[in-house]
Amino acid sequence: MKVFINGIGNISPQETWDNSKFLEEVISSDDNRLLCVEPVYKEYISPIKLRRMSKIIKRGIASALIALKDANVENPGAIITGTGWGCWADTEKFLLAMIDQGEEQLAPTAFMQSTHNTVSGQIAITIKCHNYNSTYVHRGVSFERSLQDGMMLCVEGNTNVLVGGFDECTDNFFAMLGRVGSWKKNPISSLELFNDNQQGTIGGEASIAFIIDSNKGENSYASIDAMTTFYKPESNYAVTQKVLSFLKSNGLSVSDIDVIVTGNNGDSLSDEVYNLVLQEFPEAAHTGFKHLCGQFDTSTAFGTWLAAKMLKTQSIPSVVKLNDVNKAPSKVLVVNHQNKENYSLQILSKC
């Protein structure tokens, strides 16, 4: 099911929307949440339309358009997005109005835009794309489900498939998830994420789109050779076994992996899983990314972006390094999980 990443659009808390840059400058936060750095949207969307759009819709459309341009593709063969919480700003806007106004005098716009497939629908409307269109909303593997469907479509003969993930961290969303212990109690600098012992992590958001195809494009970043997901493994040890058998089933051994990208998020319970996996790869360069984008349901997409950029630029930015090993990346393993429930593994190669 090998596919090539032929274009990327990444709007995140770093200046990643500019594909010519690669983390030369790093943006940090000190309030336990990283919010997106926005491009100038009127370069992508007409001002009349922009007025009615919530941030996530703007980000979704702009990231898609950046990726399409990057791949030199006008009309993708399919549009498939993943999101955990969907268009939360619009959802809670309608929800709070309904609660506070006692179900009276409600305006429809926020409701219309509250459905999780608004972004994939709006991308299609913007570029007039009538092709396959879907949205997966499966918690910590929402992006992976979109990628996997895209890879299946490529096997079926579809071309230039747009896959992606988006989530937004509104003030109320951040407060609400804080109530159930998602975030660290005391504020930390995001760049200290991996050195902090408190439970919990930091919030984040992004909208990241990839154009994938069975054939290599003129601007290809990397190939995604294989991916898999698994659910609630019996133990941390079982995770390591899953990683090793995944490599084996793809004809690889531990020594073939030059760089490993793990979803460490600074939560000790969560990170012990990654740390056990990393022990199996002592020769590889270890890298992390959630200190740059935060934790959200589709944050794996940022890990995929990081792997693809490292493979294309043949470099490992110092800010992502978790150990001192330095290698020219040719094979990267991406490992992510959310709450030790939904796990995903990806293998990317230089192309």
Partner 1 sequence: MSTRVFVTGLGTISSIGNNVEESYQSLVNSKKGIASMTRLESKHKRNRPIAEVNLTNEELANFANVKTLEGCSRTSLLGIVAAREAAVDAGISNELNSERIGLISATTVGGMGETELHYRDFIDENGQGTHLDYINSHDCGESTQRIADELGMKGYQNTINTACSSSANAILLGSRLIKHGILDKVIVGGTDALCKFTVNGFNTLMILSDKDTTPFSAHRKGLNLGEGAGFVVIESEESAKGKKIYSEVTGYANGCEAFHQTASSPEGDGAFQVMTEALAVAGLQPTDIDYINAHGTATEINDLSEGRAIQRVFGDNVPKVSSTKSYTGHTLGASGGIEAVYSNLAIDRKTIFPNLSFEEQMPELGFKPQIEVVQDVEVANVLSNAFGFGGNNSAVIFSKV
Distance CA 322, CA 316 (A): 11
For residue 184, give both structure tokens: 């660290």
In this chain, which stretch among 208-216, 227-235, 282-290, 320-328 interacts with partner 1, using CB under 8 A? 227-235
- In the complex, least distance from residue 292 CB atom to partner 1, rounded to whole angstroms: 24
Binding mask 79-108 for partner 1 (x = CB under 8 A): x----xxx-----x-xxx-xx--xxx-xxx
Distance CA(29)–CA(203), nearest Å, equals 11
d(CA 81, CA 273): 27
Q: Based on the shown chain and the rule CB under 8 A, indicate whether residue 296 belongs to the binding site for partner 1.
A: no
The Cα–Cα gap between 166 and 85 comes to 9
179 binds partner 1, rule: CB under 8 A = yes
Minimum gap (Å) between residue 189 Cβ and partner 1:
23
**Sign of the dihedral through C-alpha 62, 66, 72, 73:** negative
Contact between 219 and partner 1 by CB under 8 A: the answer reads no
The region of 20-28, 213-221, 225-233, 277-285 touching partner 1 under the rule CB under 8 A is 225-233
Q: Is 61 in the site for partner 1 (CB under 8 A)?
A: no
Is there a contact between 207 and 37 (Cβ–Cβ < 8 Å)?
no
Q: Where are the alpha helices (DSSP H) in 78-216?
A: 88-100, 109-112, 118-127, 142-155, 171-179
Q: From the CB of 111, what's the least distance to partner 1, in Å?
A: 4
State phi, psi for 120 to the nearest 5 degrees: -65, -35
Please state the φ and ψ torsions of residue 51, each to the nearest 5 degrees. -60, -35
Select from 134-142, 235-243, 252-260, 270-278 the region that touches partner 1 (CB under 8 A).
134-142
Q: Which of 51, 130, 197, 324 touches partner 1 by CB under 8 A?
A: 130
CB 72 within 8 A of CB 156: no
Smallest distance from the beta carbon of 238 to partner 1, in angstroms? 12
Give the span between the Cα atoms of 28 and 12, in whole angstroms. Answer: 12
From candidates 132, 143, 166, 183, binder to partner 1 by CB under 8 A:
132
| Cβ nearer to partner 1, comparing 49 with 321 | 49
Whose Cβ is closer to partner 1: residue 37's or residue 137's?
137
Neighbours of 31 (CB within 10 A): 14
Q: How many residues bind partner 1 (CB under 8 A)?
A: 59
Q: Which two tokens stand for residue 242?
A: 């899953």
Contact residues: partner 1, CB under 8 A: 79, 84-86, 92, 94-96, 98-99, 102-104, 106-108, 111-118, 120-122, 124-125, 127-139, 142, 145, 149, 152, 155-156, 172, 175-177, 179-180, 229, 231-232, 297, 341
